[in-house]
Chain A
Amino acid sequence: MRKTGFLLASLAASLMASSALAQEVSVKIGVLNDRSGIYADLSGEGSVIAARMAAEDFGAEAKGIKVEIVSADHQNKPDVASTIARQWIDQDGVNVIVDVPTSSAALAVNEIVKEANVLFINSGAAASDLTGPACTPHTVHWTYDTWALAHGTGSAMVENGGDSWFFLTADYAFGHALERDTTAVVEASGGTVVGSVRHPFPGTDFSSFLLQAQASEAKVIGLANAGGDTINSIKQAAEFGITQAGQALAGLLIFITDVHALGLETAQGLVLTESFYWDLNDSTREWSARFEGIDGDKPTMVQAGVYAGVLHYLKAVEAAKSNEADTVIAKMKEIPTDDPLFGKGEIRADGRKVHDMYLFKVKAPADSKGPWDYYETLATIPADKAFRPLNEGNCPLVQ
């Protein structure tokens, strides 16, 4: 403990010394995510591109901030994520770790940043525990979380008469958190949860679990999984005639890349909650077009979150004239957030970034005007309703 403290202090001191010499602040941003597995399309290289765009758009160089961006593949494994995060902090002098999808990996990194001189702006992971019991003074949870998803999609399904639920849950931290938060919403709205099944992550064949869901006779099958798992679940639910027989699917976490892979024919009618869609307004369209020019695909909300998070981080670094974690996070929470993708918002004391969320419905093929024209907006969930109230999260920082 003391040894790491000393190491970090000397590391910080050396960083400070070098920045003082160069009369500028240098920051090293580490994009840690899945670059080859089932979440690679929704985060992956696109998130690195987003971080780079943020540094360029901010004009970091002209403002005397030297930005270096590194990236690594955590393979959705908490142990790999921890090892990389430790190396980045102890040896490579990374100042901020961004993205980190896969809640189990994010929670592992979260433990490490707690005591270290490094910030963690999570965009990719969902578990609301990151700003709940596991919150740290160095963590910001940017894009979305399981509480917001449960309240967006979950309440909408219950309001439309889906009052009995069966969950298909990915068997790791994220799935468990999403099932827990959605169960709370369903029960609070007077619905019941008749059962759930936990499938291995990642999975391929979901037909067995889907038949169990069918046998439960629940009105809604809640898919508490993500990425390729959700794609296969929805595809196979259609194949086995489950949706045709009258049960509704609730994709609790669906990204635009999932809809793209499913095709509108299969995905049409799905109701989903996201915090970003490329076609929301002029500034999201402009940014997304630039992103598509580099990446080839439209951005997901995770990639948008990386952009906005890095942008806000750099603003705070500029204001604080420092890369010290504690100084910068204080500024990040002090300055209101404002970016072209999420609009105005703020970072709360528990690390939760709040902004509007949107309830979307996937268009029918006939209504889509072209590639990536997938969503119609059903409702805007205002920032103060979209996320868990500050006092309900059991975050030690706000008690």
Chain B
Amino acid sequence: MFELLGIPPQALFGQLLLGLINGSFYAILSLGLAVIFGLLNIINFTHGAQYMFGAFVAWMLLTYGGLGYWWALILVPIIVGITGIIIERLLIARLYHLDHLYGLLLTFGLALIIQGLLRNQYGISGLPYAIPPQLAGGQNLGFMFLPNYRGWVVVASLIVCFGTWFVIEKTRLGAYLRAATENPTLVGAFGINVPRMITLTYGFGVALAAFAGVLAAPIYSVNPNMGADLIIVVFAVVVIGGMGSILGAIITGFGLGLVEGLTKVFYPEASSVVIFVIMAIVLLFKPAGLFGRTA
């Protein structure tokens, strides 16, 4: 079969591994979107900008504050998460009683503003951000040279994705969250502060995006458009996985990374559309997405 496709199996393994690495970014980002949509019913179009902002804050911490990668990995999600909380309290909270469309427009506008401001300040070519020395270099796996940093990206995103899934699906806090999604009034009646929980959830979703931004900073150029390029694909991932489905977002994230990786080998010209073709097919046969429930 491999001979038929004209690709030696070793090269194929290499490409699958790369697909997995790209899938890690899709997974973390679509996870954040799914969490936010699941609990807030807000289609967070600012997500890409928040991912980009995460990378920028990491760069700023290094350039202006002298704080390196490991600090950034902890501090950036907190800082960007707090900006998310402020945005939710000041703006998004006013839209919950309105149609989805308003939240979408608001967050889309915010994304354009954040991008525009950073573009004005830092230009478009991108800023250099070095790979931390502990993760420099790479391993020769026989079939490919795997940079240590890319390996770390996969591990880190698996941990974060699993952790999030575990908290939401298996803990008491997660149970409150899920209950609040189903019936906020009833959960509130049990003495749980639902608005605060929603605010924190948004902050958490944003922090996930920022975390992905820090992971991306050393391998992609840190530039104001990095989120805009990615967010459309991530939305397709969320739609394929099923809006609001946590596990769906994670599995489709990694899965589509693999599919895209294979497309880059067999028909590179199509690699930017393959995900949307899959999205169209999935929507035709399962409108709620692969893992979604029909309401």
Q: Do A and B bind each other?
A: yes
Q: Pick the residue among B15, B128, B268 that contacts A266 (CB under 8 A).
A: B128
Contact A262 B128 (CB under 8 A): yes
Smallest CB gap from B125: residue in A? A261
**What's the interface size class on A, roughly?**
35 or more
Q: Of B83-91, B144-152, B158-166, B195-203, which stretch is located at the interface?
A: B144-152
Q: Using Cβ atoms and an 8 Å threshold, which residues of chain A touch B230?
A: 204
Q: Pick the residue among A42, A228, A261 that contacts B127 (CB under 8 A).
A: A261
A37, B119: Cα distance in complex, Å: 10
Contact A40 B124 (CB under 8 A): yes
Contact A241 B138 (CB under 8 A): yes
Contact B268 A197 (CB under 8 A): yes
Interface string of A3-42 (1 = CB under 8 A from B): 0000000000000000000000000000000001110111
Contact B268 A38 (CB under 8 A): no
The yes or no answer to A319 lying at the interface (CB within 8 A) is no
Contact B126 A200 (CB under 8 A): no
Q: Using Cβ atoms and an 8 Å threshold, which residues of chain A touch B149?
A: 239
Contact B272 A231 (CB under 8 A): no
Contact A209 B264 (CB under 8 A): yes
Given known A199-B268, A211-B14, contact A228–B124 (CB-CB < 8 A): yes
Interface string of A264-294 (1 = CB under 8 A from B): 0010000000000000000000000000000
A202, B228: Cα distance in complex, Å: 12
Q: Using Cβ atoms and an 8 Å threshold, which residues of chain B touch A231?
A: 125-126, 221
Smallest CB gap from A244: residue in B? B145
Interface string of A166-180 (1 = CB under 8 A from B): 000001000000000
A215, B11: Cα distance in complex, Å: 8
A261 nearest CB across to chain B (Å): 4
The yes or no answer to A207 lying at the interface (CB within 8 A) is yes
Q: Using Cβ atoms and an 8 Å threshold, which residues of chain A touch B36?
A: none
The yes or no answer to A235 lying at the interface (CB within 8 A) is yes
Q: Using Cβ atoms and an 8 Å threshold, which residues of chain A touch B147?
A: 239-241
Given known A205-B22, A207-B18, contact A239–B131 (CB-CB < 8 A): yes
Q: Using Cβ atoms and an 8 Å threshold, which residues of chain A touch B131?
A: 239
A299 nearest CB across to chain B (Å): 14
The yes or no answer to B71 lying at the interface (CB within 8 A) is no
The yes or no answer to B223 lying at the interface (CB within 8 A) is yes
Q: Using Cβ atoms and an 8 Å threshold, which residues of chain B touch A211?
A: 11, 14-15, 18, 144
Contact A204 B264 (CB under 8 A): no
A78, B145: Cα distance in complex, Å: 39
Q: Using Cβ atoms and an 8 Å threshold, which residues of chain B touch A197?
A: 268
Quick one: which of B178-228 are within 8 Å of A by CB?
A: 219-221, 223, 225-226
A198, B266: Cα distance in complex, Å: 11
Number of A-B contacts (CB under 8 A): 98
Q: Using Cβ atoms and an 8 Å threshold, which residues of chain B touch A391?
A: none
Smallest CB gap from A42: residue in B? B125
Q: Pick the residue among A38, A204, A209, A232 that contacts B124 (CB under 8 A).
A: A38
Given known A205-B22, A241-B147, contact A200–B271 (CB-CB < 8 A): yes
Q: Using Cβ atoms and an 8 Å threshold, which residues of chain B touch A204?
A: 220, 226, 229-230
Smallest CB gap from A297: residue in B? B123
The yes or no answer to A257 lying at the interface (CB within 8 A) is yes
Smallest CB gap from B123: residue in A? A41
Given known A38-B225, A228-B126, contact A208–B261 (CB-CB < 8 A): yes
A316 nearest CB across to chain B (Å): 33
Contact A258 B219 (CB under 8 A): no
Given known A205-B220, A208-B18, A208-B264, contact A198–B127 (CB-CB < 8 A): no
Interface string of A228-239 (1 = CB under 8 A from B): 100110011001
A261, B138: Cα distance in complex, Å: 24
Contact B268 A209 (CB under 8 A): yes
The yes or no answer to A227 lying at the interface (CB within 8 A) is yes
Interface string of A124-158 (1 = CB under 8 A from B): 00000000000000000000000000000000000
Given known A240-B138, A257-B125, A258-B125, contact A232–B221 (CB-CB < 8 A): yes
Q: Using Cβ atoms and an 8 Å threshold, which residues of chain A touch B226?
A: 204
Interface string of A215-250 (1 = CB under 8 A from B): 100000000000110011001100111000100000
The yes or no answer to A260 lying at the interface (CB within 8 A) is yes
B271 nearest CB across to chain A (Å): 6
Quick one: which of B1-52 are within 8 Å of A by CB?
A: 11, 14-15, 18-19, 21-22
The yes or no answer to A212 lying at the interface (CB within 8 A) is yes
Contact B265 A228 (CB under 8 A): no
Quick one: which of B125-158 are within 8 Å of A by CB?
A: 125-128, 131, 138, 144-145, 147, 149-150
B38 nearest CB across to chain A (Å): 27
The yes or no answer to A263 lying at the interface (CB within 8 A) is yes
Smallest CB gap from A262: residue in B? B128
Q: Using Cβ atoms and an 8 Å threshold, which residues of chain B touch A40?
A: 119, 123-124
Most buried by B among A41, A42, A44, A258: A41
Most buried by A among B21, B123, B149, B219: B123
Q: Using Cβ atoms and an 8 Å threshold, which residues of chain A touch B221?
A: 228, 231-232, 235, 261
Smallest CB gap from A36: residue in B? B119
A239, B152: Cα distance in complex, Å: 13
Q: Using Cβ atoms and an 8 Å threshold, which residues of chain A touch B119?
A: 36, 40
Q: Using Cβ atoms and an 8 Å threshold, which residues of chain A touch B271?
A: 199-200, 208
Smallest CB gap from A215: residue in B? B11
Q: Using Cβ atoms and an 8 Å threshold, which residues of chain A touch B99?
A: none
A263 nearest CB across to chain B (Å): 4
Q: Pick the residue among A36, A37, A205, A208 that contacts B265 (CB under 8 A).
A: A208
A198, B150: Cα distance in complex, Å: 24
- Jot down 15 A-B pairs with beta carbons below 8 A, ordered by A: A198-B269, A204-B226, A204-B230, A205-B220, A208-B264, A208-B265, A215-B11, A228-B225, A232-B220, A235-B220, A239-B219, A245-B145, A257-B125, A258-B125, A261-B126
Known contacts A208-B15, A261-B127; 14 further A-B pairs (Cβ under 8 A)? A37-B124, A171-B269, A208-B18, A208-B268, A212-B265, A228-B125, A228-B221, A228-B225, A239-B219, A240-B147, A261-B125, A261-B221, A262-B128, A266-B128
* Chain A contact residues, CB within 8 Å of chain B: 36-38, 40-42, 44, 171, 197-200, 202-205, 207-209, 211-212, 215, 227-228, 231-232, 235-236, 239-241, 245, 257-258, 260-263, 266, 297
